Amino acid sequence: MTDNLSLQNQGTEKLLEFVNISKEFPGVKALSNVSFSVRGGRVCALMGENGAGKSTLLKILSGDIQPDEGCVRLNGKEQHFSSPYQSIRAGISVIYQERQLMNMLSVMENIFLDDLHENKFGFVQRSVLRKKTQELIDEFEMPFHPEDIVGHLSVAHQQMVEIMKAYRRDSDIIAFDEPTAPLTDKEINVLFNLIRKLKERGKIVLYVSHRMGEIFQITDDIVVLKDGQLVTTFKTSETTEQELVKAMVGRDIGDTYSNLVRNDKLGDVLLSVRNLENDAIHGISFDLRRGEILGLAGLVGAGRTEIARAIFGADPIKSGKIIFDGKEVHFKSPVDAIASGIALCPEDRKEQGLLLGQSIRTNISIPVLSKLLKGWFIDRRQEAELAEQAVKRYSIRTPSIEKKAGELSGGNQQKIILGRWTSSKMDTKLLILDEPTKGIDVGSKAEVYHIIMEYARQGIGIIFISSELTEVLNISDRIIVIHDGHITGELTREEATEEKVLALAMKEVEGVKL
Amino acid sequence: MNNNEKLKKFFRSKNSTLIILLAIMTLFFWIFSPNHSFLSIRNLTSIANSMTITAFFVIAEALLILMGELDLSPGYIGTASGALMASLLANTALPWFVVVVICLIFGICFGLLNGLLVNKFKFQSFIATLAVGSFVAKGFSYIVCNGKAVGIKNPAIVWIGTKKIASIFPVAIFFSIIAMVIYGIILAKTKFGNSIYICGANREASRLAGLKPKKVSYILFANSGMLGAIGGMLYAARLLSGNLDGTNSYAFPAITAAVLGGVTFGGGSGSIFGCFLGLLIISGFNNGLLIMGLSPYWINVASGLLLLLALSADYLANRRAGGGKIGKPRRLKLTRVEE
């Protein structure tokens, strides 16, 4: 089979080369002298920590930005893209991490945005669009309809629309930037089957992801970048996870999880939730002790985030009881929750956590502004001190506390939020972490784990939400599994395995039709 | 921070662009105005006089723009308040300060109505304030005045509106100066001022971080109604009558001055001092062209060009620092290093 295919493709085998690419942004050398090539019919992973230069490379490929030096060569021909339009014309599709969809438009309009199949009078042929979109949807095995409004789809389905958009162009080169982050296992399977199909057709696939499992599952070659330089390339079949991590981080970080110093003495009960109920969650009851890390596992959209938001007072509660720190509490808004010592690091770091356009200083001081008052005015010196402390304590890599949060890498952004909730002016007793390691690199992940463990040792109760199973299993003292807004099971650290958690995460809830 | 750094920081700031623009403009008009009259005391007072009332509207708009909202109603609220004041003074025996307080409350109520429509019923602020201003408040001024101007005779109000110290310096200017200073300090130094920047930048993130964006929004709309009422009452006092057009057209020049002064939609940056400079430039520019004898029609065109010029200067300065498009919120202007 493969022999046949390679014979077929021999005459027209595609070749993508990056030649001596350098790119500098104000103050940062994003890429320096990066060269490598990918052949048709192979899936090439781009790996590296945040800030290594992967996204910059993809943006150069897509014509979004131009390299200072070097060029992209396609089948031996030098290309100088000055806009994404030219890159698409040349047969390149890049699917970015941030979805580029028009939420108010339908699926089919989004997919055929640049080619509306107008007839000779300039009218859009909706029936043709509908038919072609339906074919795509069938190929992707998706349950939605061509005329559905994209904004009403789940995040996972939106991501699939984004992929369809690139897929239908039949480009020779398709680059994926962390495509699986919002997807559930079902869509990931579909995606991987598609990638295999693309491979068989001799296409070139570039694949960026932080998830090791996927890399070993789907890719053929691995290119490792670090600080804008190409470290090394591997054949996926000839390397190991540890070797890869070492190349990415530049040092052997060993086994991330076994290095953690766990808290071994749990305190008394800090939080009791009884029969919590609203539109998204049903009959949620559990206890959390001081110093305990409680993992909330489940598929994306199972209701984990909604539980966190309900406890935090961000979403209304219909019925049920929350007893926190010995008292029954009724939070009307996050303000009340924060005042009693609860903190939430939201799932969507960029949209709900940080103010990207504001400085690190501002981002850290938001919840404690009233404690920084000197008379009527904010004491800027104290505010700056607070930020300096956080930068030092969590080794946030930044030249100054006046740097805007949006200009830092994902890992450093997460550390700012952690710094916000644990500054010396805060008295946080319960910390809810919703996907705290999403999109951040191995090195930063390990740092975040260490920080979490330190909190637990200080007696802070922690609710830890994550879609990465290995992470939940290794960090949590106890795991409760959520499915469709219900708790489907509880496992101790000792008894929890990936299989058990997954089985519970997909378990049918009695009396609930799925 | 030593002096050198301070100086550097100043020259990179927006206000420096505005001050340079102001200096060039002043020099130009000084040279070319008949008898160099642009810088005569009389003319400077005239410029100050033209800024007095607009200043209140500029403050109101600047705060709301920082919050990511726009208010088209304060001009109409001002007219209605001026009319209400005139008619209460003429038709009741209430002392003048009670009338003023009633009118302030009246303005605040309209502002709260805006706040309610925007925060509770989720109207776009543009639509909500357009409806409240140009229909409800405007209609109200007609009802109060019964369709015609009402004269003002109360000596205290007349004094506030028309008294000139040393026979050139209008008393009303002091109100504007005091308001600018107070709001400038509130915005730059207090918790409430800071929360305006923060909530404007990202409402949901601020709410999850323990601020109350809804409350801030309500207060700012109410404040806008109140400042509108003050502006409208001063206007009526100056003209010695509550009439039907009053301050109706004041919202747009105010928004222009705020934007020119460096206030960005959706938080990020902007200061009351910047607004003051923006207002000064616009007023000085109009006045300068007028005393040079340009027709008022052309002055409108020229003002538009000035705004474009100022914004592009700002844009160029920003692009050097890795900026983006004109008028886009600052938070979209980031150079994302790499993710």
Does A357 contact B339 at a Cβ distance shorter than 8 Å? no
**A390-400 pLDDT per residue, tens:** 999 888 888 88
pTM of the prediction?
A: 0.78
The SS3 of residue A240 is coil
Q: In this model, does residue A1 exceed pLDDT 90?
A: no
**A346-391 pLDDT per residue, tens:** 988 888 899 988 899 999 999 999 899 998 999 999 999 999 999 9
Q: Which residues of chain B have pLDDT under 70?
A: 1-13, 267-268, 310-311, 313-339
Residue B338 within a domain: no
CB pairs below 8 Å between A and B: how many? 118
Q: In this model, does residue A424 exceed pLDDT 60?
A: yes
Q: In this model, does residue A2 exceed pLDDT 80?
A: no
Residue A494 within a domain: yes
Domains held by chain B: number: 1
Residues B282, B254: Cα–Cα separation, whole Å:
10
Interface of A with B in 485-504 (CB under 8 A): none
User: Do both A319 and A439 map to the same domain?
Assistant: yes
User: Do both A219 and A308 map to the same domain?
Assistant: no
Instruction: List chain B residues with CB under 8 Å of A362.
Output: 194, 197-198
Q: Per-residue confidence at A107, pLDDT binned at 50, 70, 90?
A: very high
User: Do both A86 and A188 map to the same domain?
Assistant: yes
User: Do both A282 and A334 map to the same domain?
Assistant: yes
| A433 interfacial to chain B (CB closer than 8 Å) | no
CATH number of the domain encompassing residue B90: 1.10.3470
Q: A301 vs A153, which has greater pLDDT?
A: A153
- What is the pLDDT at residue B10? 66
Instruction: List chain A residues with CB under 8 Å of B336.
Output: 406-407
Does A351 contact B206 at a Cβ distance shorter than 8 Å? no
Query: Helices A442-457 and A241-249: crossing angle, nearest 10°?
Result: 90
**A155-183 pLDDT per residue, tens:** 888 989 999 988 898 889 999 988 887 78
CA angle A345, A347, A352 (to 5 degrees): 75
Supply A375's token pair: 């008379």
CATH number of the domain encompassing residue A184: 3.40.50.300
- Specify the pairing of strand A327-328 against strand A319-324: antiparallel
Residue B133 within a domain: yes
Q: Per-residue confidence at A210, pLDDT binned at 50, 70, 90?
A: confident
| A97 interfacial to chain B (CB closer than 8 Å) | yes
Residue B198 within a domain: yes
CA distances from B91 to A56, A285, B99 (A): 72, 66, 11
Of A97, A335, A376, the CB nearest to B339: A97
Residues B255, B270: Cα–Cα separation, whole Å:
13
Classify burial at A149, counting beta carbons within 10 Å of its beta carbon; exposed 0-12, middle 13-18, buried 19 or more. Answer: middle
Residue A211 within a domain: yes
Are the beta carbons of A146 and A134 closer than 8 angstroms?
Answer: yes
The SS3 of residue A103 is coil
ipTM: 0.78
Interface of A with B in 362-391 (CB under 8 A): 362, 366-367, 369-370, 373, 376-378
Of A50, A56, A335, the CB nearest to B210: A335
Nearest Cα neighbor of A400 from A438, A361, A348 is A361
Q: What chain A residue is nearest to B201 in terms of C-alpha separation?
A: A355
Range of the domain at A434: 253-341+427-514
User: Do both A234 and A264 map to the same domain?
Assistant: no
Instruction: List chain B residues with CB under 8 Å of A370.
Output: 191
CA distances from B103 to A128, A474, B113, B120 (A): 62, 65, 15, 25
Rg over alpha carbons for chain B, rounded to the nearest Å, is: 21
Range of the domain at B98: 3-333
Q: What chain A residue is nearest to B190 in terms of C-alpha separation?
A: A377
Does A352 contact B335 at a Cβ distance shorter than 8 Å? no
The distance from CA A214 to its chain's CA centroid, rounded to whole angstroms, is: 14
